[in-house]
Each structure stands twice: as structure tokens, then as C-alpha cells.
Structure 1
Amino acid sequence: MRRRSLLIAVPAGLATLAACGDDKSDSSKASDSASPSASPSGSSAPPPKIVDGPLPAITAGTKTGEKPTVAKGSGDPSKQLAVKTVVAGSGTTIAENDYIQAHYLGQIWDTAKVFDNSYDRKSPLIIQLAAGSIIDGWRYALAGKKTGSRVEFSVPPTWGYGSQGQPQAGIKGTDTLVFVVDVEKTFGGSSSAEGTDVAQDDAGLPKVGTNTDGKAPSIDVPEADAPTKLVANYVIEGDGDKVAAEDTVLVQYKGVLWDTGKEFDSTYSRKALTSFSLQQVVKGWAQGLTGKKVGSRVLITIPPKLGYGDSPPAGSGIKKDSTLVFSVDILAKM
């Protein structure tokens, strides 16, 4: 199971996907490392001024994707946010509230003590650049940068962990932190599946649009009886890693009712991606996405016994014993 970083806040579950009557406890686990998760108390500080330095030198591992070695800070760090683009990428521009996939190293200015890095784990961090999800220093330093970039920045306590610090990582409330971040990908409201279209030749099943322009795909439900068993078919097959039952996934999705074809929930309508653990959603989602590849679009048709049965979420527009139809783009495993 992928090791989670302390810098990550637990994502909120969606009311229309959360499992009903499930007595499982929250499956998210506290990490045994420190990384850029939101400060426990949150932040109400005004935006920092972005300055050029000072910043310590990167003395080894100078290429993007290599684990960097960073010198000890010299003199007093800036009381603002010092940011330097070490390598300028040419990819998509990162916006606040986007999710990013990145490798990073974090250390303390005064001592050069490395308190966390993803390079040794060989697993990049995927996290949303949003208030409450990550420390403010990351949000302000990375917004406006492009994928493919290496960015170095220093974060004073005001936009880091505040006066309480992060004791389990050895970070005091007076420590300025230094990060080197290699941004590999960004995911926003217009992100879509990427892969090969798969034939949809069963006339008894809904047909899902294959557009990848970030707009919601069409879902055409046939005039036929709903299947009594779970259906989980590729519409677009990606080439990423397979999703495991315990994974947390980042997705775009749209849900409609079999009986009427009416949409009841959609990330496209909200213009915001969502992430969740497959252990915290209805069984149809968990079973339907397990084993599917990242980058894919999947048609999931969920019979009532694997959905909400006779207890649909209040205000969802879902009636008792409804069959649900989803188009799900699996953008990443978190």
C-alpha cells in the first residue's frame, strides 16, 4: 500500500458516493513522515510577498527527477516566500485548486536536516493546491508554474506549520523550511481520460461519449431493462497502473439514473475534480473501479443492492431501488 505523507489532509467524501450503513472506520492513516499537508489549525495569514531569495544552493541531483542535495541555509531566511524556478517546464500552467503530481524534498533551513522526500519512496505526491489540503507555502509558490518545472522555495512558519510546528517531524514553530519540487503533472477541471477507445457494441447497455476535451461525456441509456448485476466496462482504456481495492483515486465523473437518464451528480457541473478512497464509497464503485487502469474512462452500471438500495442520500434526487449509471475518468492514484 502506498505510504501517505503527513502533509496530506484527508479528502472529504461525497454525499452521493459515500457508502450507506457502512460501519468501517475512516481508512486514511496517519503517516510516519512529514510533507506539505495543511497545518492542523489551518491558516488565516494574508498572502505572502514572493521574493527571489535567499535560497540555498542545490549541490547534487541537479536534474529534474533526481533526488537533490541542498546546502544549509546561509544567514537569515526571508520572512516572505522566496521562490526560484530552477528548471522551467513547458507544460500546463498550474492554477490554485488544481491537483499536482510531484516529487519533492523538504529540509530545515538552519540545519539542512531532511524531514521528508518522495524520491526515496519512488512514489510522487499527488495533492490539491487548495487551502486546507496543503500548507500555504506550496499553494503560493507553485501556482502559475508549468509542469516539467523544478521549483525551489523557502517557507517561513507563517505559511508553513505556524507556531506549533510539526513535532513528529522535528520541525519547530520557528523553523523556515526549504523545498525542492519537481512538478510532473497537473490535473484540473478540464482533465480527461487518455487512452484508446473501446468498442461499445452491447445495445442493452448505456453508451458513453468518448470526447476528451474536458467536457462532460454524453450517457445514452437504452430503452431496456436495467442489468441486475454490476457492469464495469472500459470506454477509453488507459495505460496506467491498475487500481487496487484500498487505493484512493482522483476522478472526473458523471452519474445519471437508468430509469430517466437524468443527471444527479457530476464533477463537470461543479468544475472541480474529486478524490476518495475506494473503501469509503458504495460497493458498486469500489468493485467497478478495482482492477481498472489509471487514465481510463469506465462505464459503471450499479444495481440497487450495490448502490443505495432503499436508503438513497437525502436531497440527491435518487429514488429507492434505483439503478445508477456512471461515466468515470480515473485520472490518478493518490
Structure 2
Amino acid sequence: MRRRSLLLAAVPAALVTLAGCGDDKSGTSRASASPSSSVSAAPPPKIVDGPVPAITAGTKFGEKPAVAKGPGDPSKNLAVKTVIAGGGPTVAENDFIRADYLGQIWSTGKVFDNSYDRKRPLVMQLAQGSIIDGWRYALAGRKAGSRVEIAVPPTWGYGTSGNAQAGIKGTDTLVFVIDLIDVFNSKSSAKGRPVAQSGAALPAVGTNTDGAAPKIKVPKADPPRKLVSAYVLEGDGAEVKADQTILCQFEGVVWDSGRTFQQTYGSGRLSQFSLQQMEQVVKGLSQGVTGKKVGSRVLVVVPPDLGYGDTPPSGGAIKKGSTLVFSVDILAAM
């Protein structure tokens, strides 16, 4: 069977959505409801500064909060309060955010979901159709490093149908406490420390961190026969696991010709792919990224038997027996 083209891995940033909940290995929040959108967009809300319930414990950024029940009746508008003001980049429409959050029902205080127990923050795009409008409108203009509390009426939440699996009725106002950890867009780069590269036998990859494509210089030599995976910039995040999905910038070139066959840099795109799914497309790329730290730029050289072998995508720069060279900026993983 012909392997699928890598082109399936990169899509326009305005269309990418990463799943919010993932596997719940802790046994908590099994009936969860990540803030992914399942209803059509409503007109923009009026944003007010309250009321919102009190945070009674876990008051520091990154701590799992405890939140009181809503005080009386909620606003019919979108209530937004910056509890802790961060100093990082400002979030804009269509950016990706990485955030921890807790969500509960205003009237009962029942927690229907939280990412803190899973220890895998949400990675999702702040775009219409990807995330509930309450998050879209509340977080645009906030800065990374901020804790934001919001009260979302049904119109800008899950609509009149609610979310039965999570016990949310169509009349429920929802309360979220959101710790905005980071923000990414098509100008993002890995920010790790440069690592000495391995000499003339392997491609040299640029170490710029300005969001532009790093230069990849392929040597005029025979390619290695085994998979190569090496840091260009080493980040300080957690190591990527084989069951995770990554958000990244990348460029792929063919060793023999030096031709770029695909890249996200400069295209207004980011790429997201499941490493388990990529294992079925370009096995060497999946294996080369697994175990590397989030925040890193990684050189991956994929020999034919771990790439497309004798069945390359038709009509492109990749030929039978091509060795592939990738530069991958691992921006986030979940």
C-alpha cells in the first residue's frame, strides 16, 4: 500500500485543532469537557469584569485552584477577570495557546473538567470553530503568564444543548480559571540553547530563533544509512512521548537534491501531528522526535527504509530511495 503524503501533517493555522483532553490516566474527570467548540459562532459578547466566584485555594499561577460557587445570578454577558497579570507575549486571534484550566458549573460549583490532574496542559487554537467563543473573546489580548477567570453564559459556551456527558445543561453558566502558560503562532521558533553540531558528515542547521526558516546545508557526501536525531537547539521542556501529539514548525529537504519538499516557516502555518499516526507515514520522523525535549530544534535524517522507500508521494521532490532531512522546532506537546 502506498504511504500517505507528509502533506497531511501540515494544515493552515486557521484550521488546526488539537484535542483538549487526551487520555485521562489519573482516573479523574472522566466525564470531561475541554473547551473545544461544538456550536456555531455567536455574535461578539459584551465583556464585563464580574461577577466571578472567589478562588479559595490554589491561588498561585500553575496551582490547581479551588473555586467557590457562583455568588447569586451570573451576568448575561461574558465576565472576565485577570487574577494574575503575566508579562509574556500577547495572545491574538488564531494563535495557539498552551494552558492549564479548571472548569465548573456556576450554580453548583461542580467541577466538570481540569487539566491540572492530567499534568498535560491544553494546547488549542484560539480560533472560531476550534474553541468555545467564551475563551476566544476572553483570552484575546491577555498575556502569557496570566491567570484569567471567566464566567461564560451558554451563548458563548456549549449553547442550548449543553454537554450531557459532562453534566452541563443548556442553561448553565460555566466558570473557568485559566493559567496561560505560552502562546504560539506562525512566527514562533524553538528557543533552546545551541548545541555543537556533529561535523561535515551531517547537514548543518541554522540556529536563528526569529521565526524564519533555518538554513539547512546538506553536505556533498553519501547520506547515513541509519536514522540520525540530534539537537540543534536544546530546550528545557519535558521529553516528548511516543503517544503524544506535537505542535511544531518544520522544514523537510531531500538529501540528494537539497530541494525543500515542505515547510511551515514563512507559510502562515503551524503543523500538528500525532507521533503514533506519523509512525505509519514517515516512521523515522516519529522516532527522531520521540524522546526530544519540548522547546528544541531537532535535526532528523531519515533513511529510505524509515521514510518513503520505493513508494514516494507522486509528483514531488521525493524520489525512490530518497533520504530525507528535517529540521523540527517542537513548540508544544500533549
Q: TM-score range by the shorter chain?
A: 0.7 to 0.9
> Kindly tell me: are residues 318 and 46 of structure 1, through their superposed partners in 2, closer, same or farther at Cα, counting changes over 3 Å?
farther
Alignment-derived partner of residue 57 in structure 1:
54
Partner residue in 1 for 2:260 = 263
Give the distance between the partners of 1:49 and 1:317, measured in 2 at CA: 51
Q: 1:79 aligns to what SS in structure 2? A: coil
Deviations 1:61-102 (A, max 9, x none): 333223222222233322221111112111111112222222
Percent identical pairs in the alignment equals 67
Letter in 2 for 1:195: G
User: How do residues 150-161 of structure 1 correspond to structure 2 at under 5 angstroms?
Assistant: 150-161=147-158
The equivalent residue for 2:18 is none
Q: Would you say the 8 A contact 1:107–1:179 is kept in 2?
A: yes
Q: Please say if residues 239 and 295 of structure 1, whose CA atoms lie closer than 8 Å, have aligned partners that are also in contact.
A: yes
Secondary structure in 1 aligned to 2:288?
helix
Give yes or no for contact 1:150–1:182 (8 Å, CA) kept in 2. yes
Q: Kindly indicate whether the alpha-carbon contact (under 8 Å) linking 2:186 and 2:266 is maintained by their aligned counterparts in 1.
A: no
Q: Distance in 1 between matches of 2:51 and 2:64?
A: 21
1:284 aligns with 2:284: yes
Deviation of residue 124 (structure 1)? 2.5
Q: What secondary structure sits across from 2:305 in the alignment?
A: helix
RMSD: 2.2
Q: CA deviation at 1:115?
A: 0.9
Amino acid at match of 1:178: V
Deviation at 1:146, TM superposition (A): 0.5
Shift of residue 244, structure 1, vs aligned partner: 1.8
Residue of structure 2 in register with 1:307 after alignment: 307
State the partner residue of 1:45: 42
Q: Does the C-alpha gap of structure 1 residues 14 and 321 become closer, same or farther in structure 2, counting only changes over 3 Å?
A: closer
2:301 maps to a residue whose letter is: T
Deviations 1:141-177 (A, max 9, x none): 1111011111111112222112221111111111110
Give 1:232 shift: 1.2
- 1:17 Cα shift? 4.6
Which residue is equivalent to 1:34? 32
Q: Secondary structure at the match of 2:138?
A: helix
Distance verdict in 2 for CA 1:119–1:29, change over 3 Å: closer
Does the Cα contact within 8 Å between 2:7 and 2:262 map onto a contact in 1? Answer: no
User: 3-state SS of the aligned residue for 2:277?
Assistant: coil
Determine the C-alpha separation between the residues in 2 that align with 1:44 and 1:180. Answer: 22
Q: TM-score, normalised by structure 1?
A: 0.86
How far apart are residue 185 of structure 1 and its match? Answer: 1.6
CA deviation after TM superposition for structure 1 residue 122, in Å: 3.6
Judged with a 3 Å threshold, the aligned counterparts in structure 2 of structure 1 residues 314 and 171 are, in CA distance, closer, same or farther, namely farther
| Counterpart position of 1:91 | 88
- Residue 34 of structure 1: how far off its partner (Å): 2.0
> Cα–Cα, structure 1 residues 316 and 53, in superposed 2: closer, same or farther, change >3 Å?
farther
| 1:120 and 2:131 aligned | no
Tell me the TM-score normalised to structure 2 length.
0.86
Of the structure 1 ranges 65-74 and 281-290, higher mean CA displacement relative to structure 2 is found in 65-74
Structure 1 312/163 Cα, relative in aligned 2: closer, same or farther at 3 Å? farther
Q: Distance in 1 between matches of 2:138 and 2:330?
A: 27
**Aligned partner of 1:243: which letter?**
V
Alpha carbons of structure 1 residues 191 and 39: separation in structure 2 relative to 1, 3 Å: closer
Structure 1 counterpart of 2:294: 294
Deviation sequence 1:283-329 (CA, Å, 0-9, x none): 01111112212222111111222112233334554333322111011
1:15 partnered with 2:7: yes
The 5 Å alignment of 1:162-311 reads 162-281=159-278, 282-311=282-311
Query: 1:79 aligns to what?
Result: 76
Output the CA distance in 1 between the equivalents of 2:49 and 2:22.
37
1:107–1:116 contact (8 Å) kept in structure 2: yes
Runs of 5+ unmatched residues, structure 2: 11-20, 25-29
- 3-state SS of 1:270 partner: coil
Q: Distance in 2 between matches of 1:255 and 1:131?
A: 30
Contact (CA 8 Å) 2:80, 2:148: kept in 1 or not? yes
Q: How many residues align?
A: 312
Q: String of CA shifts for 1:258-295, please: whole Å, max 9, x gaps.
A: 12212121111322322211111110111111221222
Checking the alignment, whether the CA contact within 8 Å between 2:41 and 2:128 is kept in structure 1 is no
